Protein backbone atom coordinates (compact mmCIF):
# COMPACT_ATOMS: atom_id res chain seq x y z
CA UNK A 1 0.00 0.00 0.00
CA UNK A 2 1.00 3.62 -0.54
CA UNK A 3 1.05 6.14 2.30
CA UNK A 4 1.93 9.20 0.20
CA UNK A 5 1.68 9.90 -3.51
CA UNK A 6 3.26 13.08 -4.87
CA UNK A 7 2.49 14.10 -8.44
CA UNK A 8 4.18 17.08 -10.08
CA UNK A 9 4.23 19.06 -6.83
CA UNK A 10 5.62 22.57 -7.33
CA UNK A 11 5.90 25.63 -5.10
CA UNK A 12 7.00 29.05 -6.29
CA UNK A 13 7.54 32.24 -4.32
CA UNK A 14 7.51 34.99 -6.90
CA UNK A 15 10.28 34.17 -9.36
CA UNK A 16 11.87 31.61 -7.02
CA UNK A 17 10.99 27.92 -7.43
CA UNK A 18 11.44 26.27 -4.04
CA UNK A 19 10.00 22.87 -5.03
CA UNK A 20 10.16 21.91 -8.68
CA UNK A 21 7.79 19.32 -10.17
CA UNK A 22 8.38 16.50 -7.67
CA UNK A 23 6.87 13.06 -8.24
CA UNK A 24 7.41 10.10 -5.89
CA UNK A 25 5.63 7.72 -3.52
CA UNK A 26 6.12 6.60 0.08
CA UNK A 27 5.06 3.08 1.00
CA UNK A 28 2.98 2.26 4.07
CA UNK A 29 5.22 1.52 7.03
CA UNK A 30 8.27 2.97 5.28
CA UNK A 31 10.80 5.27 6.92
CA UNK A 32 11.45 7.66 4.05
CA UNK A 33 14.21 10.27 4.16
CA UNK A 34 14.58 13.63 2.43
CA UNK A 35 18.31 14.40 2.54
CA UNK A 36 19.63 17.76 1.48
CA UNK A 37 21.23 21.02 2.60
CA UNK A 38 19.43 23.76 4.45
CA UNK A 39 17.34 25.61 1.89
CA UNK A 40 16.99 22.71 -0.56
CA UNK A 41 13.19 22.72 -0.40
CA UNK A 42 12.63 19.92 2.13
CA UNK A 43 10.61 21.94 4.63
CA UNK A 44 8.56 23.57 1.89
CA UNK A 45 7.65 20.11 0.59
CA UNK A 46 6.62 18.98 4.09
CA UNK A 47 4.49 22.10 4.61
CA UNK A 48 2.59 21.35 1.41
CA UNK A 49 2.05 17.72 2.38
CA UNK A 50 0.64 18.70 5.79
CA UNK A 51 -1.56 21.40 4.15
CA UNK A 52 0.22 24.43 5.63
CA UNK A 53 1.21 25.71 2.18
CA UNK A 54 -0.81 25.69 -1.02
CA UNK A 55 1.08 24.19 -4.01
CA UNK A 56 1.61 26.33 -7.08
CA UNK A 57 1.05 23.25 -9.24
CA UNK A 58 0.59 19.50 -8.87
CA UNK A 59 -1.03 17.60 -6.05
CA UNK A 60 -0.46 14.83 -3.53
CA UNK A 61 -2.37 12.39 -1.36
CA UNK A 62 -1.54 11.49 2.24
CA UNK A 63 -3.12 8.33 3.61
CA UNK A 64 -5.39 8.40 0.58
CA UNK A 65 -6.59 11.98 1.16
CA UNK A 66 -6.02 14.80 -1.33
CA UNK A 67 -4.02 17.70 0.16
CA UNK A 68 -6.05 20.21 -1.88
CA UNK A 69 -9.62 18.99 -1.43
CA UNK A 70 -9.46 16.95 1.81
CA UNK A 71 -7.31 19.08 4.06
CA UNK A 72 -9.20 18.17 7.23
CA UNK A 73 -8.87 14.45 6.57
CA UNK A 74 -5.15 14.86 5.85
CA UNK A 75 -4.63 16.66 9.14
CA UNK A 76 -6.55 14.03 11.06
CA UNK A 77 -4.30 11.30 9.65
CA UNK A 78 -0.89 12.86 10.33
CA UNK A 79 1.45 13.78 13.14
CA UNK A 80 4.22 16.31 12.73
CA UNK A 81 7.30 17.50 14.58
CA UNK A 82 8.68 20.78 13.26
CA UNK A 83 12.25 22.03 13.53
CA UNK A 84 11.28 24.71 16.04
CA UNK A 85 10.27 23.52 19.54
CA UNK A 86 6.53 23.77 20.19
CA UNK A 87 6.17 22.46 23.74
CA UNK A 88 4.71 24.44 26.62
CA UNK A 89 7.61 24.45 29.05
CA UNK A 90 5.39 25.59 31.96
CA UNK A 91 3.46 22.32 31.72
CA UNK A 92 4.64 18.84 32.66
CA UNK A 93 5.36 16.18 30.08
CA UNK A 94 2.04 14.45 30.74
CA UNK A 95 0.16 17.77 30.58
CA UNK A 96 1.67 18.55 27.18
CA UNK A 97 0.45 15.22 25.86
CA UNK A 98 -2.99 15.71 27.41
CA UNK A 99 -3.33 19.15 25.80
CA UNK A 100 -2.51 17.70 22.41
CA UNK A 101 -4.97 14.82 22.88
CA UNK A 102 -7.78 17.19 23.84
CA UNK A 103 -7.16 19.15 20.62
CA UNK A 104 -7.94 15.93 18.75
CA UNK A 105 -11.02 15.25 20.84
CA UNK A 106 -9.76 12.05 22.45
CA UNK A 107 -12.09 10.82 25.25
CA UNK A 108 -10.64 11.07 28.77
CA UNK A 109 -10.18 7.35 29.36
CA UNK A 110 -8.55 6.83 25.98
CA UNK A 111 -6.42 9.93 26.47
CA UNK A 112 -5.08 8.82 29.85
CA UNK A 113 -4.22 5.35 28.58
CA UNK A 114 -2.50 6.78 25.52
CA UNK A 115 -0.45 9.20 27.60
CA UNK A 116 0.99 6.34 29.63
CA UNK A 117 1.74 4.35 26.46
CA UNK A 118 3.53 7.27 24.84
CA UNK A 119 5.55 8.17 27.93
CA UNK A 120 6.73 4.57 28.16
CA UNK A 121 7.55 4.49 24.44
CA UNK A 122 9.76 7.59 24.65
CA UNK A 123 11.22 6.57 28.03
CA UNK A 124 9.83 9.52 29.98
CA UNK A 125 7.51 7.74 32.41
CA UNK A 126 9.65 8.71 35.40
CA UNK A 127 9.62 12.37 34.30
CA UNK A 128 5.90 12.52 33.45
CA UNK A 129 5.17 15.08 36.21
CA UNK A 130 8.32 17.19 35.78
CA UNK A 131 7.99 20.59 34.16
CA UNK A 132 9.27 20.48 30.58
CA UNK A 133 11.52 23.47 31.28
CA UNK A 134 13.67 21.08 33.32
CA UNK A 135 13.97 18.51 30.51
CA UNK A 136 17.21 18.12 28.54
CA UNK A 137 17.21 18.86 24.81
CA UNK A 138 16.98 15.17 23.99
CA UNK A 139 14.09 14.63 26.40
CA UNK A 140 12.16 17.53 24.88
CA UNK A 141 12.67 16.14 21.40
CA UNK A 142 11.47 12.70 22.45
CA UNK A 143 8.40 14.24 24.05
CA UNK A 144 7.65 16.17 20.85
CA UNK A 145 7.93 13.00 18.79
CA UNK A 146 5.70 11.18 21.28
CA UNK A 147 3.17 14.00 21.13
CA UNK A 148 3.02 13.60 17.36
CA UNK A 149 1.97 9.98 17.94
CA UNK A 150 -0.73 10.66 20.55
CA UNK A 151 -3.65 10.40 18.14
CA UNK A 152 -2.16 7.34 16.37
CA UNK A 153 -1.55 8.96 12.98
CA UNK A 154 -1.05 6.98 9.79
CA UNK A 155 1.91 9.16 8.77
CA UNK A 156 4.41 10.99 11.00
CA UNK A 157 6.46 13.88 9.58
CA UNK A 158 9.76 14.68 11.32
CA UNK A 159 11.35 17.89 10.06
CA UNK A 160 15.05 17.87 11.05
CA UNK A 161 14.25 15.98 14.29
CA UNK A 162 17.76 16.06 15.79
CA UNK A 163 18.92 19.58 14.94
CA UNK A 164 20.56 21.18 17.98
CA UNK A 165 21.04 17.93 19.88
CA UNK A 166 24.40 16.67 21.07
CA UNK A 167 25.79 13.45 19.59
CA UNK A 168 24.52 11.26 22.45
CA UNK A 169 21.00 12.71 22.34
CA UNK A 170 20.95 12.44 18.57
CA UNK A 171 21.75 8.73 18.64
CA UNK A 172 19.19 8.14 21.39
CA UNK A 173 16.58 9.91 19.26
CA UNK A 174 17.49 7.70 16.29
CA UNK A 175 16.77 4.64 18.42
CA UNK A 176 13.34 5.96 19.40
CA UNK A 177 12.46 6.81 15.81
CA UNK A 178 13.41 3.31 14.64
CA UNK A 179 11.53 1.75 17.55
CA UNK A 180 8.37 3.72 16.76
CA UNK A 181 8.56 2.83 13.09
CA UNK A 182 8.99 -0.89 13.87
CA UNK A 183 6.55 -1.20 16.77
CA UNK A 184 3.80 1.19 15.68
CA UNK A 185 4.16 0.36 11.99
CA UNK A 186 3.43 3.92 10.95
CA UNK A 187 4.94 5.59 7.89
CA UNK A 188 7.57 8.20 8.72
CA UNK A 189 8.87 10.97 6.48
CA UNK A 190 12.06 12.49 7.86
CA UNK A 191 13.96 15.51 6.58
CA UNK A 192 17.62 15.83 7.47
CA UNK A 193 20.91 17.33 6.42
CA UNK A 194 22.87 14.75 8.42
CA UNK A 195 24.37 12.04 6.20
CA UNK A 196 24.69 9.49 8.99
CA UNK A 197 21.10 10.06 10.11
CA UNK A 198 19.76 9.21 6.66
CA UNK A 199 22.01 6.14 6.38
CA UNK A 200 21.12 4.82 9.82
CA UNK A 201 17.38 5.36 9.77
CA UNK A 202 15.88 5.38 6.31
CA UNK A 203 14.53 2.55 4.18
CA UNK A 204 14.80 4.84 1.15
CA UNK A 205 16.39 8.24 0.70
CA UNK A 206 15.60 11.03 -1.72
CA UNK A 207 18.53 13.41 -2.23
CA UNK A 208 16.98 16.87 -2.56
CA UNK A 209 18.90 19.71 -4.15
CA UNK A 210 17.56 23.09 -5.29
CA UNK A 211 13.98 21.91 -5.07
CA UNK A 212 14.45 18.77 -7.16
CA UNK A 213 15.15 15.11 -6.38
CA UNK A 214 18.63 14.31 -7.68
CA UNK A 215 18.50 10.62 -6.70
CA UNK A 216 16.11 8.27 -4.88
CA UNK A 217 16.68 4.69 -3.74
CA UNK A 218 17.71 2.62 -0.73
CA UNK A 219 20.94 3.79 0.95
CA UNK A 220 22.73 0.60 -0.18
CA UNK A 221 21.56 0.98 -3.78
CA UNK A 222 22.57 4.64 -3.87
CA UNK A 223 26.03 3.82 -2.53
CA UNK A 224 26.34 0.88 -4.90
CA UNK A 225 25.58 3.14 -7.86
CA UNK A 226 28.97 4.81 -7.43
CA UNK A 227 30.79 1.66 -8.47
CA UNK A 228 33.79 1.98 -6.21
CA UNK A 229 35.61 3.61 -3.29
CA UNK A 230 36.28 7.33 -3.10
CA UNK A 231 39.73 8.83 -2.58
CA UNK A 232 39.79 12.53 -1.70
CA UNK A 233 42.98 14.36 -2.66
CA UNK A 234 43.41 17.71 -0.95
CA UNK A 235 45.49 19.91 -3.26
CA UNK A 236 47.53 23.03 -2.51
CA UNK A 237 48.14 24.07 -6.11
CA UNK A 238 46.16 24.22 -9.35
CA UNK A 239 44.42 20.85 -9.75
CA UNK A 240 43.88 21.09 -13.53
CA UNK A 241 47.09 19.22 -14.58
CA UNK A 242 46.18 16.30 -12.31
CA UNK A 243 42.59 16.25 -13.60
CA UNK A 244 43.92 16.03 -17.15
CA UNK A 245 45.96 12.95 -16.23
CA UNK A 246 43.02 11.34 -14.42
CA UNK A 247 40.99 11.69 -17.61
CA UNK A 248 43.44 9.40 -19.42
CA UNK A 249 43.52 6.61 -16.81
CA UNK A 250 41.16 3.68 -17.50
CA UNK A 251 41.19 2.62 -13.85
CA UNK A 252 39.58 5.92 -12.75
CA UNK A 253 35.80 5.39 -12.75
CA UNK A 254 35.09 9.11 -12.31
CA UNK A 255 36.32 12.16 -10.45
CA UNK A 256 34.76 15.37 -9.13
CA UNK A 257 36.65 18.56 -8.39
CA UNK A 258 35.51 20.80 -5.54
CA UNK A 259 37.14 23.74 -3.83
CA UNK A 260 40.64 22.57 -2.90
CA UNK A 261 40.04 18.87 -3.49
CA UNK A 262 39.62 16.15 -6.11
CA UNK A 263 37.32 13.20 -5.28
CA UNK A 264 38.31 10.12 -7.31
CA UNK A 265 36.08 7.02 -7.56
CA UNK A 266 38.00 3.76 -7.98
CA UNK A 267 37.65 0.02 -7.68
CA UNK A 268 39.94 -1.39 -4.95
CA UNK A 269 41.18 2.09 -4.08
CA UNK A 270 43.73 0.79 -1.56
CA UNK A 271 45.89 -0.55 -4.41
CA UNK A 272 45.71 2.72 -6.36
CA UNK A 273 46.69 5.30 -3.76
CA UNK A 274 50.36 5.07 -4.75
CA UNK A 275 49.38 5.51 -8.41
CA UNK A 276 47.43 8.66 -7.56
CA UNK A 277 50.44 10.07 -5.72
CA UNK A 278 52.66 9.34 -8.73
CA UNK A 279 50.19 11.05 -11.04
CA UNK A 280 50.15 14.10 -8.80
CA UNK A 281 53.97 14.21 -8.77
CA UNK A 282 54.09 13.87 -12.55
CA UNK A 283 51.58 16.71 -12.90
CA UNK A 284 53.53 18.85 -10.39
CA UNK A 285 50.42 19.10 -8.19
CA UNK A 286 51.17 19.30 -4.47
CA UNK A 287 48.94 17.19 -2.21
CA UNK A 288 48.29 18.15 1.42
CA UNK A 289 46.32 15.05 2.40
CA UNK A 290 44.75 11.84 1.07
CA UNK A 291 41.56 10.32 2.48
CA UNK A 292 40.13 6.96 1.40
CA UNK A 293 36.50 6.18 2.10
CA UNK A 294 34.08 3.46 1.23
CA UNK A 295 31.00 4.78 -0.58
CA UNK A 296 28.52 6.61 1.63
CA UNK A 297 25.64 8.99 1.02
CA UNK A 298 28.06 11.92 1.15
CA UNK A 299 29.83 10.38 -1.84
CA UNK A 300 26.49 9.94 -3.60
CA UNK A 301 25.50 13.55 -2.88
CA UNK A 302 28.82 14.73 -4.32
CA UNK A 303 28.37 12.55 -7.39
CA UNK A 304 24.85 13.73 -8.24
CA UNK A 305 25.19 17.42 -7.29
CA UNK A 306 28.86 18.20 -7.91
CA UNK A 307 29.50 19.46 -4.38
CA UNK A 308 29.51 18.10 -0.85
CA UNK A 309 26.61 18.53 1.55
CA UNK A 310 28.80 20.64 3.85
CA UNK A 311 29.68 22.93 0.96
CA UNK A 312 26.02 23.32 0.04
CA UNK A 313 25.10 24.11 3.63
CA UNK A 314 27.93 26.64 3.91
CA UNK A 315 26.83 28.32 0.68
CA UNK A 316 23.21 28.55 1.84
CA UNK A 317 22.01 26.59 -1.17
CA UNK A 318 18.50 27.11 -2.47
CA UNK A 319 15.58 28.88 -0.85
CA UNK A 320 13.66 25.95 0.52
CA UNK A 321 13.48 27.00 4.18
CA UNK A 322 11.74 30.04 5.51
CA UNK A 323 10.69 31.25 2.10
CA UNK A 324 7.09 31.89 3.08
CA UNK A 325 8.23 34.43 5.62
CA UNK A 326 10.77 35.90 3.25
CA UNK A 327 8.21 36.79 0.60
CA UNK A 328 5.34 37.59 2.91
CA UNK A 329 3.21 34.52 2.22
CA UNK A 330 1.77 32.97 5.35
CA UNK A 331 0.43 29.44 5.82
CA UNK A 332 -3.32 29.08 5.62
CA UNK A 333 -3.55 28.03 9.27
CA UNK A 334 -1.20 27.92 12.22
CA UNK A 335 1.06 24.93 12.70
CA UNK A 336 -0.33 24.42 16.19
CA UNK A 337 -3.63 23.42 14.64
CA UNK A 338 -2.28 20.12 13.37
CA UNK A 339 0.19 19.15 16.06
How much is the pLDDT for 316? Answer: 67
How much is the pLDDT for 87? Answer: 92
- The residues of the chain that CATH labels 3.40.50.300 are 2-219+319-331
Pairing relationship of beta strands 287-293 and 229-235 according to DSSP bridges: antiparallel
How much is the pLDDT for 183? Answer: 80
Flag residues of the chain having pLDDT under 50.
317-339
- The residues of the chain that CATH labels 3.30.70.100 are 227-294
Tell whether domain 227-294 is in CATH 1.10.8.350.
no
How many helices (DSSP H) and strands (DSSP E) are in the chain?
13, 14
CA distance 330 to 37: 23
How much is the pLDDT for 187? Answer: 94
Tell whether domain 2-219+319-331 is in CATH 3.40.50.300.
yes
How much is the pLDDT for 328? Answer: 33
How much is the pLDDT for 179? Answer: 83
How much is the pLDDT for 322? Answer: 42
HSE-up (13 A, CA, CB side) for residue 315: 14
Amino acid sequence: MTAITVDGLTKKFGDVTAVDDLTFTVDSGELFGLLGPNGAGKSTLIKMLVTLLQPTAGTATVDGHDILTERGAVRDSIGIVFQEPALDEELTGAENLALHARMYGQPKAEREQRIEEILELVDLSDERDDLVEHYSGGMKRRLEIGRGLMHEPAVLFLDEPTVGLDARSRRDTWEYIQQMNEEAGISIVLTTHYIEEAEQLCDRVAIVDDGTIAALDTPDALKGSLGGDVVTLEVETDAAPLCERLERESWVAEYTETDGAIHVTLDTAESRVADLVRLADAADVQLSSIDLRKPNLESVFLSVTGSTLDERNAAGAGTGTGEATAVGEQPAESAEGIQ
